[in-house]
Structure 1
Amino acid sequence: MKPVVVLVGRPNVGKSTLFNRMTRSRAALVADAPGLTRDRQYGDGRIGDRPYFVVDTGGIVDGMQSVKPGDDLAMHVASQVRVALAEADTVILLVDGREGIHPADRELAADLRKRGKPLWLAVNKSEGLDPATVAADFYELGLGEPVAVSAAHGDGVSELTRRVLATLPITEEIAPAEDMPRIAIIGKPNAGKSTLVNALLGEQRVVVGELPGTTRDSIHVPLERHGRHYLLIDTAGVRRRARIVAPLEKFSVLKALQAIDESNVAILVIDAQSGVSDQDASLAGYALHAGRALVVAANKWDAVEKSERTWAKRKIERKLPFLEFARLHYISARAGTNVARLFPSVDEAYESAKRTLTTPKLNRVLHEAVTANPPPRMHGRRARPKYAHQGGRNPPRIVIHGNQVASLSQSYRRYLANAFRKAFQLVGTPVLIECRQEKNPYKEIPGRSQKGRRRSAAKPRSKRVNYTQL
């Protein structure tokens, strides 16, 4: 098992920047604003031949023991930090070298010493300053020799990482699980995405709040269920573009869309009380355009009156006719009702997206579909699909060859996709139809008309003679 390095500190001291530097990624959202990170974020790092895990945590304002009882968000963040510290093999306390020692730094240092974990003190934002001078003031925290670093510029980060790993035993690296579905939880703000993630995990893994916008970053959470590995990605709620004003929210939305692109299956969480909005349909369309398999979860179903549930189901199904191939579940993430049923649908959609489609059966289905419903005429000519083969997986891509197939309408392509989906029992995944039109062999030959008739240049067409005038 790889060692776990946990980053702890006050808000806005550079923990997420150091996390990105140690993982050589941009997984953590970074902005010049305190309190951005709220959940714990995991990442993989490697220096030389030593792999490790890095955990980014939310900022602690006044120490973990000084959280006010009424501040629910601060209590959730502190709870996330405690869980991360329990998992840690070593801890790095990050402080701000330009601000000097803060009272919260003293409280954090005292609390960390009581936990008995190996501790390191990193003095961040030391670029352009003398390292010895910057680190001198922080000896009084009693955490040993401070290490001056600059997470933004990378100064001293490699040296800090080497020193931290040198004190940890070398363990055998476990190969990552193969065939692991990546599941993105998407939806509007306050639809219950984070609550659903916690329900799927069976623990309070991500911060949940009543106000919309609690989740700001995309949180990757590994999960093992019945011997199979999954990766859950909790995303920020996506609102309509016209309502996105703050730059921070724009970055959060961008991270959510990137999570969709990186996933294999997307669970669209909609609010069953308010019904399907235009933004829900737009998010579903984005996932389909990206070729992602889909599962729909109508959350907060327990809050819908029993007398109104039949009508609510009709409204949801009427608003999402283009998702008729996706499984629809009516759940309550808070109560845990029907949440476990999402996993079979996710497995089914993932396996359908990666299924191999045999060419003989594809051709048989194509010919049966064209015979039952021939393509309509376009500009006086009818397309003639001849044969098909699979051109890719995840999602399934079917390539159709023939004459004039490039003129097939989108409605007819959907008809063919539904025929293939029904024949191969594909559930939850879009089917992409790619048409490759055969070239006209006479088109590039000089002297050939579009109808393929030859006109000889050596023997021009003779004029008709009227013998009555001779």
Structure 2
Amino acid sequence: MNYPIVAIIGRPNVGKSTLFNRILKSKAAIVDDMPGVTRDRNYAIADWNGKYFYLIDTGGLVPNTRDRMEISIKHQVETAVEEADLLLFLVDRKTGLTDADTQIAKMVRRQKKPFILAVNKVDKLKDEAESYEFMKLGLGDPILIAAGPGLSIGDLLDEVVKNLPERSEPVLDNRAIKMAVVGKPNVGKSSLVNAIVGRERVIVDEVPGTTRDSIDTIFNWNGQEFVLIDTAGLRRKTSAHEDVEFYTRLRTERAVERCQVGVLVLDGSQGLSHLDTTLVAMLEDSNKALVVVINKWDLMPAENKANYLGWLKGQLAFVNFAEYVFTSALNNEGVFNLLQKILNAYHHWNKVFEPAVVVQAFEETIKKLHPPAVRGKEITLYSIRQEGQAPPRFAIECNMPHLIPTNYFRYLQSSLHTRLAITGTPIRLMFQKSKAPSGWKKRQMVDFGKRPKFRAETEENKER
């Protein structure tokens, strides 16, 4: 993807995220009146009149700070500025020109890149005269906007696309695998993301909740393009009353909706929490492939790993298809294996099976264990076919789909998973009411040892 990059920069609370959202016409970044809410760079693809570009929303820049978090944000903003082809410097009319604005303006001039100065929160005509004090910054005539109500955003975007470098318009690679990294705070998600991408893409800090927004990163591994969505750590509902935490929870859910493969990160030194299982259920309900990462495994005694994995699979038996991998993000161990597991899970999630292979697995499944009789009625399964993928979906024709017991439904799913060698992804079964096809013959039971006894098949049942 060779789109030019536009970075929105400015001191805290001047409306950068509001402008970002206004341009994208969506709540793509967390917006709150508290300065410093946007901490990491947030990427998105925007377009104006057919001109596509990456838009970067950055954290509030505080020059000459000694605050540890503000220094981290400053480092991230500087990285975004280095990546950008055009700088969109946003200032606040209501608070007026500040020393921080002056320092940022000096940085903008040093970059020797195209830039646009925009004065935000200009709501009345009388504000226009007051806004020209920002010409003292030496960055030319500012564009006056109000990001909240959308005043003059079109004029601003006209200037943006006019100043963008000419590049060939690439076609988005639909083969890119979208993966969402999810997990509760402080389990090592950001460190894992940095290990995967190979650079400090996300601020890493020991304070839970450091990463609040979901951050998209595009990278290539072994010729395969990935879009990595690093989500804000999901917190317990007790903290969701705060606006920021509420949007963070929504962000995690929306990231899960956007992804194809969910990567759940667990702390190997901790147990499995209710919040962890909530995330797993969210991924399973959303029909996503699933890879479970046990991070910080270097902190676990070697003899505990096998026992822990067995215990964990038992706790997550409702997603028995999941892939599991041990990693140590800080030591960069297990990352190659993780990427391979993600790739395999995606291929199974999106796989189209040979019809003959599906039919054979289906026949072997039923021969091993026929459906039980329910309320004196014999259930007969006639045929199967794949209806789609992402995840694999199979349609099964039978005489009485509404009577299929839950335990037999689970048996069918589990057996097809095993016989089709499907790992890392759920499968979906749909039952369709049908009569016996012409020439159809009753299957014969195969003796696989002890099994439940069901009603003997009769000629009368065959007629059904």
After TM superposition, the score normalised by the length of structure 1 is 0.89
- The 3-state SS of whatever aligns with 1:376 is coil
SS at the partner of 2:305?
helix
2:31–2:244: 8 Å Cα contact kept in structure 1?
no
Deviation at 1:242, TM superposition (A): 4.0
Q: Which runs of 5+ in 1 are unaligned?
A: 441-450, 452-470
Aligned counterpart, 1:367: 363
1:64-109 Cα offsets, whole Å, 9 max, x none, are xx121xx332122111101111111111110111111122111111
Q: What's the CA shift for 1:130?
A: 3.5
User: Does the aligned pair in 2 maintain the 1:38–1:58 contact within 8 Å?
Assistant: yes
Q: Tell me, in whole angstroms, the C-alpha distance in 1 between the residues paired with 2:349 and 2:309.
A: 27
Structure 2 residue aligned with 1:257: 253
The 8 Å contact of residues 325 and 428 in structure 1, kept in 2 or not, is answered as yes
Larger radius of gyration: 1
- Which deviates more from structure 2 when the two are superposed, residues 163-172 or residues 425-434? 163-172
Residues of 1 paired with 2:295 and 2:164: CA distance? 44
Q: 1:202 aligns with which of 195, 198, 205?
A: 198
Corresponding residue to 2:394 among 387, 392, 398:
398
- Mapped to 2, the partners of 1:203 and 1:249 lie a distance apart of 27
- 1:128/1:218 CA distance change after superposition, 3 Å: same
Equivalent position amino acid for 2:47 in 1: R
Mark the CA change 1:333 to 1:369 in structure 2 (over 3 Å): closer, same or farther. same
1:34 alignment counterpart: 35
**Taking structure 1 as reference, are residues 124 and 243 closer, same or farther at Cα in structure 2, changes over 3 Å only?**
closer
Give 2:65's aligned residue: 67
Contact 1:386 1:402 in 2 (8 A): yes
Give, in whole Å, the separation in 2 of the partners of 1:382 and 1:188: 47
Q: CA distance change for structure 1 residues 27 and 203 in 2, over 3 Å: closer, same or farther?
A: same
Q: For 2:256 and 2:398, locate their aligned partners in 1 and report how far apart those are by CA, in whole Å.
A: 34
**Equivalent residue for 1:350?**
346
Alpha-carbon distance between aligned partners in 1 of 2:77 and 2:361, rounded to the nearest angstrom: 56
Residue 131 of structure 1 deviates from its aligned partner by 5.5
Task: Work out the percentage of aligned pairs sharing the same amino acid.
Answer: 34
Residue of structure 2 equivalent to 1:142 = 138
> What amino acid is the match of 2:98?
H
Q: Which residue of 2 aligns with 1:45?
A: 46
How far is the alpha carbon of 1:439 from its aligned partner? 7.6
Match of 2:385 in 1: 389
Q: CA deviation at 1:51?
A: 1.9
Kindly provide the amino acid, as one letter, of the partner of residue 294 in structure 1.
Answer: L
Q: Tell me, yes or no, if structure 1 residue 57 matches structure 2 residue 58.
A: yes
Tell me the secondary structure at the aligned position of residue 381 of structure 1.
coil
The offset of 1:243, in angstroms, is: 4.7
Q: Is the 8 A contact 1:39 1:206 kept in 2?
A: yes
Question: What is the DSSP-based 3-state SS (H/G/I as helix, E as strand, rest coil) of the residue aligned with 1:78?
Answer: helix
Shift of 1:409: 2.2
Q: Residues 21-57 of structure 1: CA distance to partner in whole angstroms, max 9, x if unpaired?
A: 2233332222222211111111212222322221110
Which amino acid in structure 1 is aligned with residue 348 of structure 2? S
d(CA) in 2 for partners of 1:79, 1:177: 30
How far residue 134 of structure 1 moved from its aligned partner, in angstroms, is 3.6
Task: Note if 1:89 corresponds to 2:85.
Answer: yes
The question of whether the paired residues in 1 share the 8 Å contact of 2:192 and 2:329 is answered with: yes
Which range moved further: 31-40 or 240-249?
Answer: 240-249
2:329 to 329, 333, 337: 333
Q: Which residue pairs with 2:72 in the alignment?
A: 76
209-218 or 401-410, larger mean C-alpha shift: 401-410
**Cα distance in 1 for residues equivalent to 2:238 and 2:407:** 31
CA distance in 2, matches of 1:238, 1:411: 32
Deviation at 1:426, TM superposition (A): 1.2
Deviates more, 1:96-105 or 1:227-236: 96-105
Question: Once the two structures are superposed, what CA deviation does each residue of 1:113-135 show, in whole Å capped at 9, x if it has no partner?
Answer: 22222222100011234453142
Distance 1:203 1:162, change over 3 A: same
Q: CA shift at 1:424, angstroms?
A: 2.1
* TM-score, with length taken from structure 2: 0.90
Q: Which residue of 2 aligns with 1:299?
A: 295
Q: In the alignment, is the contact (CA less than 8 A) between 2:86 and 2:163 conserved in 1?
A: no
Say if 2:419 is the partner of 1:419.
no
CA distance in 2, matches of 1:16, 1:279: 29
Structure 2 counterparts to residues 69-468 of structure 1, below 5 A: 71-130=67-126, 132-438=128-434
Classify the secondary structure of the residue corresponding to 1:230.
strand
Please give the per-residue CA displacement for 1:231-284, whole angstroms capped at 9, x wherever unaligned.
Answer: 000011123334533221011011101111111000110110012222212211
> Cα deviation per residue 1:363-393 (whole Å; 9 max; x = unaligned)?
3322221221111222222311111111221
Which residue does the alignment assign to 1:5? 6
- Does the 8 Å CA contact 2:122/2:128 hold for their aligned counterparts? no
Encode CA deviations 1:424-455: one digit per residue, 9 max, x unaligned: 22110001111122389xxxxxxxxxx9xxxx
In structure 2, distance between residues paired with 1:141 and 1:90: 18
Structure 2 residue runs without a partner (length 5+) = 437-459
Deviation at 1:315, TM superposition (A): 2.9
